[in-house]
Structure 1
Amino acid sequence: MSLQIAAGRWTSIVGPNGAGKSTLLKVLAGLLPARSGRVELLGRELHAWQRRERARRLAWLGQNEAAADDLTAYDVAMLGRLPHQGWMQPASSADHAAVEQALRATQAWDWRERALGALSGGERQRVLLARALAVQAPVLLMDEPLANLDPPHQADWLQLMRALVARGHTVVSVLHEISLALQADDMLIIDRGQLRHHGAAGDGATHRALERVFDGRIAIHRVAGQWLALPHINV
């Protein structure tokens, strides 16, 4: 596939199970090699970046992220600052400020001293999101970032993404929650390893492509000023 993701916008990647969404995102992050062609980050080939430089510009949140359960939420978030720290150097005041900002943004600040293993699934996910935010990278890639989050915190996440984009960040997220994915600026629709559509999330062509790729089992409707994906039920 050939595509260009616009800077300073939020792009959601959607499609049926097994379509290749997570694989695509990992290739964009450099975690999986492309079988052919190349990936560019900010106009420069991805693997031409030094690792530390790339880690400062590209933050990652994957599915079922592993982290030591005995680390505190604060220490987990501080891991996001490693690309900014010298070898064996202590955290700077800028590092601590970035971690506090990230934990507060994800509403995880109040349990910063609690061990990760003592948190619920939703709380843990918010700490891992804070770790990605603490990098303060211009590009943020996320695979299923809403896992274990209840509806109010999904809404908080949505507002946070809009705030990041408003400040010039580029956000790319794989989502199963189609109604929330429709709140993005742009949408990539993947099926069977192929790019089926790439367009504005609010366009009718994007909505029709969504309905086709899910075999007509969802329908896109405008409700209270927002586009929503609703089950299509024959009665």
Structure 2
Amino acid sequence: MSLIALSGRQIRASVQGSTLLHGIDLQLPAGRWTSIVGPNGAGKSTLLKCLAGLLRQARVEGQIELLGQPLASLGAKERARQLAWLGQNEAASEELPAYDIVMLGRLPHRSWMAPPSAADHAAVQAALHTTQAWQWRARPLAQLSGGERQRVLLARALAVQAPVTLMDEPLANLDPPHQTDWLHTARALVAAGQTVVSVLHEISIALQADDLLIMAAGRVLHHGDCRDAATHQALEQVFDQRILVRQIDGVWMALPRM
């Protein structure tokens, strides 16, 4: 039986009496890339934040486990070592240079007030090279474009070197070539044995994952292999038959239905 990276039982979330998630059960296998997709307002980002333990402004019920341990039982530092996070519109110190921003990803691995180790510097350098952000390592975040900033924040998540990485809209502000680079990075993480969970609006890129978790109205409608016909059918249905899932040159794509 495969190891489960993240599991949830009867996850519910509500804000001021409005229900956002309706009793979701799920199991996300380790060593695979799962993409969460669905129409606007489906609850994708809300679910991802619940899995990360980051949904602060809502009432959350249910049980969530990270690598077999109750998420609520993990201290903040241990959780940060096990689970890396890249969210939408991430807050960061605008005056810090990119290198120092990425070094923040190493904080869970360091003692209080301890200087960065050689391993920390190696992890930061590798992450910046992976995201092609090394050339502006000395520039403050405030001087970077939206796409450049996103690549630095992705590098910060990669520098954690956590076994599980959650990313909410990681392709925001990235042009098509760098979206492709991100795709290769996600696949490389999985090839190295890590688990990736992403919320994506780019359905054709989401289809390059191992599994799709399809949501609508705060519920999971389907969870299956990206190559399965049942997954393709569920994907077309959740978008009201306005897309077609077709294979082009061996790659599954979502095309507009004309």
Shift of the alpha carbon at 1:89?
A: 1.1
- Corresponding position of 1:179: 204
2:166 counterpart of 1:141: yes
- Corresponding position of 2:257: 232
Distance in 1 between residues matched to 2:186 and 2:115, nearest whole Å: 30
SS at match of 1:35: strand
More strand by share: 2
- Corresponding position of 1:45: 70
Distance in 2 between residues matched to 1:117 and 1:46, nearest whole Å: 34
2:222 counterpart of 1:197: yes
Of 22, 26, 33, the match for 1:10: 33
> How many percent identity over aligned positions?
69
SS at match of 2:245: strand
Runs of 4+ in 1 over 4 A off after TM superposition: none
2:94 counterpart of 1:69: yes
Distance in 1 between residues matched to 2:75 and 2:142, nearest whole Å: 33
Distance in 1 between residues matched to 2:114 and 2:60, nearest whole Å: 38
User: Mind listing any 5+ residue stretches in structure 1 that lack a counterpart?
Assistant: none
- Corresponding position of 1:124: 149
- Corresponding position of 2:10: none
Distance in 1 between residues matched to 2:106 and 2:189, nearest whole Å: 18
8 A contact 1:8–1:168 mirrored in 2: yes
8 A contact 1:211–1:217 mirrored in 2: yes
Of 20, 28, 31, the match for 2:51: 28
Q: Deviations over 1:180-204 (max 9, x none)?
A: 0000000100000010000001111
8 A contact 2:200–2:206 mirrored in 1: yes
SS at match of 2:122: helix
- Corresponding position of 2:117: 92
Give the CA RMSD over aligned residues: 0.9
**TM-score normalised to structure 2 length:** 0.89
Q: Deviations over 1:31-66 (max 9, x none)?
A: 127733200000010011121111101000000101
Q: Give the partner amino acid of 1:22.
A: S
**TM-score normalised to structure 1 length:** 0.98
Q: Give the partner amino acid of 2:171.
A: L
Q: Give the partner amino acid of 2:169.
A: E
Q: Give the partner amino acid of 2:236.
A: E
Q: Give the partner amino acid of 1:115.
A: P
- Corresponding position of 1:55: 80
